[in-house]
Amino acid sequence: MLRNGEAGRRGGPGRPDRRCRRTSVAPVWDDGRVPPSPATGRATRRSREEIRALMLAAGLALLEEQGLGVGAEDLTFKRVLDRVESTTGVRLTNASVIRRAWENQAEFQDDVLIAVALAGDTGGEMGDTAAALVPLFGAMDLSSPAGRLRGLAEVCRVGGAASLRTLVGSRSWSLWVGVWVLAVTGPPTDRGRRIRQALIDGYEISTDQWAELYRTMADYLGLRLRTPFTLRQFTVSVGALVEGCALRDGARRDTAAILRPTGPDGRMQEWTLFGVGLEALALQYLEPDPNWTGPVTTT
C-alpha cells in the first residue's frame, strides 16, 4: 500500500511504478494519480481532498438510496450467546438457535428491535409525570376560570420538567426512538415493515394511555377541548414536542432553565423550554368549560 507522497519517490512523476498497479482503463491509478492528460502530456495526482470529496459524495448517495440499516447489525449471535453465558451460566451455540428459534441472525435482530418497539413506556415517563403531579392537586384553586388556568400552568411547569427529565435520562426511550426513526425514515423493506408495525402497535397503546391521563387532568381542572380539536391531536402534539425537546437536550446538555414570574405574588419559578411549550399547546387546545360544576370526587 502506498502512503501519501510515496508514489513520486517510487515511480517518478508521470509514470506509475510497477508496484503501483494500474487497476483499470478508468482515469485514475490506485495511488490517486490520473493518467496523462491529452493537453499537457503530464500525469496529475488526484489530491487527497479530491478523493475524499468523491468518496464522501458516493457514500452519501448510497445511504440516501438504501438508508441507515436497522441499527442492530452489531448484535451477532456470538455476542449474545456470550452474554447469556456470562449472565446466566447457560451455554448455547448457533445450533441451539439457528433454524430452531430463528431462521438466521437477521431475523433474531429484528425480533430484538420488535421487543424494543413494543416495550413502550418502560422508561417510566408516564409514572414519573403522574407522581410529580399528585402533590399539586390539593393545592390548586379551582374556584374561578383564572385559578384553573393557573393550575394548568403549574401542571405544565412541574409535569413538563418531570416528563422531560425522565425521557432524557432513559436508555429505553433513546433505544425506542432510535428504532422508530430508523423504521419510519428508512426505505420500505420486508424487514422494516415488521418492525414498523410493532412500533405502530406500541405507539397506539402509548398514545391512548397518555390521552387518558390528559383527559383526567382536563376533567379535574374543568377544561374542555376547543372546537375543532381532538384529544388525540393534543396528545400527539405534546408527545412530538417532548420528543423534539429531549432530542435537543440529548445533543446539547447545557439547556438552561427559564425563570418566569409565575409563582405566588409574581415570584420567579424555573421552567424548562418544554414546560413553556407545553403550556402554549395546552392553551391552544384547551379552554375553561363554562358548564363545569367542580371536580368529580370518588368515594
219 scored as a contact of another protein (CB under 8 A):
no
Site for another protein contains 89 (CB under 8 A): yes
Q: Is 106 in the site for another protein (CB under 8 A)?
A: no
Report the alpha-carbon distance of residue 52 to residue 59 in Å, rounded.
Answer: 10
Judged by CB under 8 A, which stretch of 36-44, 125-133, 138-146, 225-233 contacts another protein?
225-233
Could you say which of 15, 85, 205, 208 contacts another protein (CB under 8 A)? Answer: 85
Residue placing its CB nearer to another protein in the complex, 54 or 146: 54
Establish if 51 lies at the interface with another protein (CB under 8 A). yes
Q: Given the complex with another protein, which of 146 and 280 has the nearer CB atom?
A: 280
Contacts to another protein from residues 168-197, by CB under 8 A: 171-172, 174-175, 177-186, 196
* Binding residues for another protein restricted to 261-280, rule: CB under 8 A: 261, 273-274, 276-277, 279-280
Q: Residue 25 and residue 64: Cα distance in Å, rounded?
A: 29
Q: Which stretch binds another protein (CB under 8 A): 53-61, 127-135, 139-147, 217-225?
A: 53-61
Least distance to another protein, CB of residue 274, Å: 8
Residue where the block lists cell 430484538 = 112
Residues 54-73 that bind another protein (CB under 8 A): 54-56, 58-64, 66-69, 71-73
Report the residue number, 26 or 134, with the smaller CB distance to another protein. 26
C-alpha span between 265 and 215 (Å, rounded) = 30
Task: Supply φ then ψ for residue 68, to 5 degrees.
Answer: -90, 0
Bridge-partner residues for 102, per DSSP?
A: 98
Q: To the nearest whole angstrom, how small is the minimum distance from the Cβ of residue 208 to another protein?
A: 12
Write out the binding residues for another protein, residues 119-178 only, by CB under 8 A.
171-172, 174-175, 177-178
Contacts 24+ apart (CB under 8 A), 155-159: 155/217, 155/221, 155/282, 156/275, 156/276, 156/278, 156/279, 156/282, 157/262, 157/269, 157/271, 157/275, 157/279, 158/132, 158/133, 158/275, 159/129, 159/132, 159/133, 159/275, 159/278
Q: Return the SS3 of 244.
A: helix
SS3 label, residue 103? coil
Number of residues that bind another protein (CB under 8 A): 114
Binding piece for another protein, criterion CB under 8 A, among 49-57, 139-147, 210-218, 290-298? 49-57
Of 10-18, 20-28, 127-135, 140-148, the segment contacting another protein by CB under 8 A is 20-28
